[in-house]
Amino acid sequence: MNTTNQVEDQQTALITGAASGIGYELAYIFAAHNYNLVLVDRIELKLKEVAIKFKEEFGIFVTTIVKDLSFSTSPQEIFQELQAINIRVDVLVNNAGFGIYGLFHETDLTAELEMLQVNMVCLTHLTKLFLKDMVKQGYGKILNVSSAAAFQPGPLMAVYFATKAYILSFSEAIANELEGTGVTVTVLCPGSTESAFHERTGMADSKLMKGKRMMDAATVAQIGYAALMKGQTIVIPGVINQILAKSVRFTPRKLVTKIVRNMQEDK
The residues that are catalytic are 160
Strands (E) across 25-175 are located at 36-41, 62-66, 91-94, 140-145
The letter for the amino acid at 155 is P
* Contact criterion met (CB below 8 Å) for 248 and 236: no
Q: Could you tell me whether strands 193-194 and 91-94 are parallel, antiparallel, or unpaired per DSSP bridges?
A: unpaired
What is residue 259's three-state secondary structure? helix
> How far is it, in rounded angstroms, from Cα 185 to Cα 253?
28
First to last CA, the chain: 44
Contacts of 125 (CB under 8 A, 6+ apart): 75, 76
Rounded CA separation 56/8 (Å): 17
d(CA 93, CA 54): 17
CB 144 within 8 A of CB 170: yes
In single-letter form, the type of residue at position 177 comes to E
How many Cα neighbours within 13 Å face the side chain of 53? 15
Largest CA distance in the chain: 55
